Amino acid sequence: MSDLAERMRARMERLYPICRSITGDGVRATLAVLGETVPLQVRAVASGTPAYDWTVPEEWNVRAAWIRDVGRDGGNGAGRTVVDLADHTLHLVSYSVPFRGRLSRAELEPHLHTLPEHPDWIPYRTSYYTRDWGFCLSQRQYDALGDGPFEVCVDTTLAPGELTYGELVLPGETAEEILVTSHVCHPSLANDNLAGLTVAVELAARLAEQPRRHTFRFVFAPGTIGAITWLAQNPDVWPRVRHGLVLTGLGGPGPLVYKRTRHGDRPVDRAAAHVVRAHGGELRDYSPYGYDERQFNALGFDIAAGRLSRTPHGEYPEYHTSADNLALVTDDHLVEALEALQEIVDVLEHDATYTNLRPYGEPQLGSYGLYPTTGGRSASEAVMAMLWTLAYADGATSLLAIADRAGLPFAAVRRAADDLLGAGLLGG
């Protein structure tokens, strides 16, 4: 295992057991782990704060949750704990209200959620905006329940508090921004979305050590309410965002998948299409359903934010179940996702248009030290990249457009342009 893969997996292993939701101690603990790699600024927005059509909810925290079969008349199974949050964070419906009581089997069953088609998996369920409580359990656990009665404990708190998100700004030569976001709310789901978080943090660490043309802003916030709250809290920032990337599901099954922005033809769309195609991935058109790309692309913001994932949500059976565990995520997929993301960023950072200063025929590249001294073999990629660049450097055609036309990696065309600029054959 490479040092990079080992580092990303170790981070995910630390994050996996944390009981996260859209607010609370789990989010803060998660941001603390991410902040060990990059210097996150942790922002807090008070419960009750308006965020466009939404309101920051009360903060939710949990201490314990379990179901115990107390049995009737001390019969078989009496005192047996049949479901326990301590065993898996998915066992409790997220945002369950406090409850303590003794229930019959019939009274308990409306509060239980299973996946009969996958009898060993625990589903993930939430109740963010409905006051209710519930437990998720495998079908096998459900089938093994006794007749009861059952003692139920949901030791949670819902009280005025705060919504917390993490933010990192890496200033560039310009105030124009590239926004990278990844949701931070899901408990013990490795692909959705510990994979997105760890890839985003590694990209941020890389960019912190590089010269940057754009200003980069990383936001780690709970899904939907977190993105909307960030937008509401930053009316002076989001108009500067030129390109956005929402990261999720980057370590699980399938090739890379890029979901275009609402317009479908923005620079980030063209950059991502170039890279994802080269990685054998898939391109999809925008739809107003999914992750936080739908918030950023909303008409009032009109931020050009695409989404990078692998097999999208709902299209792999492990989605939102306990089977989305650390074994579902592969090291090779994490590393490839990071490299593809870096390549997309490189296109956004370095795409430009140039003018051929020697347009009357092909320049004698050898006289500029740009051609191999021995001919007779097929032209190398480097030479072909220079020839393609000279052929289309008309002051209007971008390097990315040339790379797409030539079927060459953007990086090769960019290197060619740099060489031609150094030789005085191109002008900016």
Sign of CA dihedral 222, 268, 337, 282: positive
228 token code pair: 């909307």
311, HSE (Cβ side, Cα atoms, 13 Å): 13
Q: With 0-12 CB in 10 A as exposed, 13-18 as middle and 19+ as buried, what is 168? A: buried
Reference 410, options 359, 348, 337; nearest CA is 348
Q: If residue 414 lies in a helix (H) or strand (E), which one and from where to where?
A: helix 410-422
Residue 98's contacts (CB-CB under 8 Å, 6 or more residues apart) are 133, 154, 155, 156, 157, 158
Class of domain 61-159 (CATH, top level): alpha beta
Rg (CA), the chain: 26
Q: Which fold has domain 3-58+162-349?
A: Aminopeptidase (3.40.630)
H-only helix segments in 331-396: 331-350, 381-392
Does an H or E element contain 58, and which?
A: none
Number of neighbouring beta carbons within 10 Å of residue 212: 16
pTM of the model: 0.95
Strand partners, 50: 55
- 351-427: what fold? Arc Repressor Mutant, subunit A (1.10.10)
Q: In what order do the strands lie in the sheet with 305-309?
A: 41-46, 162-170, 215-221, 177-183, 241-247, 305-309, 257-259, 282-284
Domains of the chain by residue range = 3-58+162-349, 61-159, 351-427
DSSP 62: E
Tens of pLDDT along the chain (428 residues) come to 799 999 999 999 999 999 999 999 999 999 999 999 999 999 999 999 999 999 999 999 999 999 999 875 444 556 789 999 999 999 999 999 999 999 999 999 999 999 999 999 999 999 999 999 999 999 999 999 989 899 999 999 999 999 999 999 999 999 999 999 999 999 999 999 999 999 999 999 999 999 999 999 999 999 999 999 999 999 999 999 999 999 999 999 999 999 999 999 999 999 999 999 999 999 999 999 999 999 999 999 999 999 999 999 999 999 999 999 999 999 999 999 999 999 999 999 999 999 999 999 999 998 998 987 544 444 688 999 999 999 999 999 999 999 999 999 999 999 999 999 999 999 98
3-class DSSP state for residue 356?
A: strand
